[in-house]
Amino acid sequence: QVDIYIMTQPLSGKWLHFGTEVTSGSGRLSFTIPPDRALPIGIYPVRMVVRGDHSYAEAYLTVVAPGTESVVFSIDGSFTASVSIMGSDPKVRAGAVDVVR
């Protein structure tokens, strides 16, 4: 089991528990923020803590206005075509590296 925490007010340093999920056989999980806890536009630290050994992974969640165009990429190149976003494999587009530069 993995506990999901989000720092809804980043300057406060306070983590709020949003829920608990169970990972798949490959160690992945999916979590949907409940509508009653929807976050306003902003950038939020996320921490996912494994209950068994208290190891954790951190990421950032960016909330944008509906209809906002965006690009998802990794700076260090670790984001690969095997990583799924929104439940489907992303398309690797020619010239994507040039866009980031």
Q: How far apart are CA 87 and CA 13, in angstroms?
A: 31
pTM: 0.73
Could you tell me if 54 and 61 are in contact, meaning their C-beta atoms sit under 8 angstroms apart?
no
Among candidate residues 8, 78, 12, 80, the one with its CA nearest the CA of residue 47: 8
Per-residue pLDDT tens digits of the chain, which is 101 residues long: 999 999 999 899 999 999 999 998 888 889 999 999 999 999 999 999 999 999 999 999 999 999 998 777 666 555 554 555 555 556 666 777 677 67
* pLDDT at site 76: 57
